[in-house]
Amino acid sequence: MRGLYAIVDVGTLASRGLEPVAFAEALLEVRPAALQLRSKESGSRETLALLRALAPLCHRAGVPLVANDRPDFALLAGCDIVHVGQTDMPIERVRRITPLLRVGVSTHTLAQLDAALAARPAYVAYGPVFETHTKVDPDPVVGVDGVREASVRATAAGVPLVGIGGITRARARDLVGLVDAVAVVADLVPAEKGPAVLREVTARARELHELFVGVRAGAAQ
């Protein structure tokens, strides 16, 4: 996994008047490292319907589709990966239920990171790297220095590291060589509206993706 880990956040898109599938199509033009649907405020039926709409688009583009929190939805929709947090189903249990589904894990401390790395997930996310406003009650900021230590451990374990939390196009440059990919939410969504907005989404995604493509994590240590 290397490049942009693009997050389609339904709540953020609704506040900007953007439709999730059209937004995802704009992101998929750059073939990001992964595309995750985050639909915290939506009902189960709507979330599953969105995943099922996104799955064929992602598969045609050769981009892994990630379901957030729900391994059952990931299976039903034909996703490639399920992403779990510290309060979600443990990775060992996910694997017992869905042994063919890859699992990514969010971590916020070095102790959580070490435990996740020992389980050999598809990737481990670490953060928030910077202050973030897209999550309610976020964990303490780990900063670039925290990511640097996480990078040493993830590189030694041979597990891809994804930086997450408050990452923008400007801030992402501080993480080049430390992480394999960056998860981005708000900075992919332009404030302006109009016919050119989806072209701007693609341009922002491309800028972020190309920063990390071909750059191995650990190179800046």
- State whether the Cα torsion 153-168-208-9 is positive or negative: positive
**pLDDT at residue 28 is higher than 90:** yes
The CATH superfamily of 3-212 is: Aldolase class I (3.20.20.70)
Instruction: Quote helix, strand, coil % in the chain, to nearest 5.
Output: 45, 20, 40
**pLDDT at residue 134 is higher than 70:** no
What is the pTM (predicted TM-score) of this model?
Answer: 0.94
Please report, for the chain, the start and end positions of each structural domain, with discontinuous segments joined by +: 3-212
So what's the pLDDT on residue 221?
A: 58
| Residue 82 DSSP symbol | E
| Residue 179 DSSP symbol | B
User: Nearest Cα to 162, choosing from 147, 143, 174?
Assistant: 147
Taking only the tens place, the pLDDT of each residue in 194-220 is: 889 999 999 999 999 999 998 878 776
Reduced to 3 states, what is the DSSP secondary structure of residue 140? Answer: coil
CB-count exposure of residue 194 (10 Å: 0-12, 13-18, 19+): exposed
Taking only the tens place, the pLDDT of each residue in 154-169 is: 999 999 999 999 999 9
Taking only the tens place, the pLDDT of each residue in 81-131 is: 999 999 888 999 999 988 989 999 999 999 999 999 999 999 999 999 998
**pLDDT at residue 42 is higher than 90:** no
So what's the pLDDT on residue 191?
A: 86
